A and B are shown apart, each in its own frame.
Chain A
């Protein structure tokens, strides 16, 4: 059996005014949890829609489970679970009715695949008589996932499933995804949250329609070559401005309540401290740290 689940070759997609995807290629192995990471407008949705047979690529080809996304779209639609960016739920139907509807649409029943969704659905089952429109973001997300899973798809495509969902639900959601891997389902998930990338088997970093890197999170972090510093002071914003003006700065960006900084060459910490104290920064604090995936992404962006 070919272990390849998704094979994307040189896909390009242009909308009237903008290039959404430029020459995108990568492969996803069967059963993998694959993350497509990138900021808003990077082309994540376009790529997922092409894989879900909702959009036609301008150039290039892609296959899902050996089916061509253009020619064999009908076959792909039978084996795909798709969760759109806005959860495609009928707000005026109850939780149970939504799930039943999607089950019948895919020619199955709730009972048939209950095992698969039990883990997820059990969280919202107490509210099964409630209308979907009255659910919280986290519950909507779980219901949408249940609906996308109800026909036991071989590939699950989820477009930003955690956007607009609270932190606790986000965490629960990822735990569910990781448990789903045991069911031999290829899972594609896109997210703007870098911290979620580290939970994937493979991630593709995407920026302005280009793939910057495809690898395991560990390898992406391992490929990071620069010395990364974590910097803070009493006036963070002025600190950022001054660091951007600093001649040896390679990159500097906000990271929570701190700055992450890389330098073009190894400048002594003392020289840097001196530069900043001259400009009146107080409570200066700097230390070397190891990079996380977001730092890698920033680095790749600077390179691109």
Chain B
């Protein structure tokens, strides 16, 4: 045990003394999550909007003008009938259609309440979300002004419909995805590099000619990264919550436990890689190839798995991040418990055991 502690202390010293390692460990996660967050959900600009005005009165024109002069949107034109809506969306330029009900102004004055329907093209879920909430805010603003002027308690009710993607798959997708990516990189890349560095520097030779057994060496290497990656996971969840208002509907404890599990999978993958290569460069290359790209492309992070060709769907089953993203989404967004994600959890547990097992079997107790 004393040997093990000594080893872990040494590893921490390595990490804390290398500026680049620290940068990758702590600056990169924060930067990535912010960049992804803002790139994906940044302010709107020049979004084309079409209007189907079935009333054509003073109020509908006022509202249309107010929305269009907000600076976020470009007026694409008036539509003649509901049949044109589908066609407009299919052309792909228009992201939102605003529909005023017939006799809008009349109802607003007489019944103190009128409906606006906001139709958004939700194939790009993040944009759709923003477009709709911006538009609603502007309408809300108009309503307040109107109440002050007329003194009445009138209401404009925006009714929102997302087209093509009713349940908004894709919104907030980036947070679980980025989390998977960062934990994968930090854990797998850093461990594989730190083990191969010992090989390159020749210190592995001396470690081998010592009473340390493979398990002690590997665990000693990995323990600091478990701790540091876990701090990262917590940071990401916190950033998601405080910067992007991403809720954690489910149990935070369960979420962190699942993070810990995923970190362990990534670390065992990193160890596995390091048993296959001898140089830091190869370790980095392999980590990028077999970890980063699949994590980005096949995990459902950016492209939905359901839309992939069969062969890629099968391949995606081998990507640990896929299961992790499903788990995180379920817990954070849907608020489900372990009862709904136990299958994915089990897959991750098996992956971890498999990689640890084969790493220890493959770990060379000699130089060849």
**Which positions in A face B, CB cutoff 8 Å?**
49, 52-56, 73-74, 77-78, 80, 82, 84-93, 97, 100-102, 104-107, 147-148
Contacts and interface: CB of A to CB of B under 8 A. Distances in A.
B104 interface: no
B13 A105 contact: no
B201 A106 contact: no
Contact of A54 (B3, B7, B366): B366
A91 B201 contact: yes
Interface stretch (B142-150, B209-217, B294-302, B304-312): B209-217
Contact of A88 (B3, B206, B211): B206
Contacts of A93: 10, 13-14, 17
A56 B131 CA distance: 68
B202 A78 contact: no
A161 B18 CA distance: 28
The B interface is mostly helix, strand or loop, or mixed, namely: helix
A90 B2 contact: no
B365 interface: yes
Most buried by B among A54, A55, A87: A54
15 contacts: A49-B367, A53-B208, A53-B209, A54-B208, A54-B209, A54-B367, A55-B367, A55-B368, A73-B366, A82-B205, A85-B202, A86-B201, A93-B13, A105-B3, A105-B7
B292 to A, nearest CB: 26
B366 to A, nearest CB: 5
A147 B5 CA distance: 18
A88 B14 contact: no
B152 interface: no
B209 A52 contact: yes
Contacts of B206: 82, 84, 88, 102, 147-148
Contacts of B5: 104
Given A82-B209, A86-B202, A104 B18 contact: no
A80 B209 contact: yes
A197 B277 CA distance: 38
Nearest to B365: A73
Interface string B5-24: 11101100110011000000
A80 B208 CA distance: 11
B7 A92 contact: no
Contacts of A101: 6-7, 9-10
B202 to A, nearest CB: 4
Contact of B6 (A53, A74, A104): A104
B210 A92 contact: no
Most buried by A among B10, B14, B17, B368: B10
Contact of A92 (B14, B211, B365): B14
Interface in B62-86: none
B211 A107 contact: yes
Nearest to B213: A74
A52 B204 CA distance: 13
Given A54-B366, A104-B6, 16 more contacts: A56-B366, A77-B208, A77-B210, A77-B211, A86-B202, A92-B13, A92-B18, A93-B10, A93-B13, A101-B7, A102-B210, A105-B6, A105-B207, A105-B211, A107-B3, A107-B211
B119 to A, nearest CB: 60
A93 to B, nearest CB: 6
A53 B13 contact: no
B203 interface: yes
B211 A89 contact: no
Interface of B: 2-3, 5-7, 9-10, 13-14, 17-18, 201-203, 205-212, 365-368
Nearest to A147: B206
Contacts of A86: 201-202
B366 A105 contact: no
A54 to B, nearest CB: 5
B17 A105 contact: no
Contacts of B205: 54, 82, 84, 88
A85 B202 CA distance: 9
B18 A105 contact: no
B209 A90 contact: no
A86 B7 CA distance: 21
A54 B207 CA distance: 11
A49 to B, nearest CB: 6
Nearest to B366: A54
Nearest to B367: A54
A100 B6 contact: yes
A69 to B, nearest CB: 10
Q: Which 7 A-B pairs have the closest CB atoms?
A: A104-B6, A88-B206, A82-B209, A86-B202, A88-B203, A54-B367, A84-B205
Nearest to B217: A105
A73 B366 CA distance: 10
A80 to B, nearest CB: 6
A105 B209 contact: no
Contacts of B14: 90, 92-93
Nearest to B5: A104
A101 B3 CA distance: 9
Contacts of A107: 2-3, 211
A191 B366 CA distance: 23
B360 to A, nearest CB: 16
A87 B9 CA distance: 21
Nearest to A73: B365
Most buried by B among A49, A86, A88, A97: A88
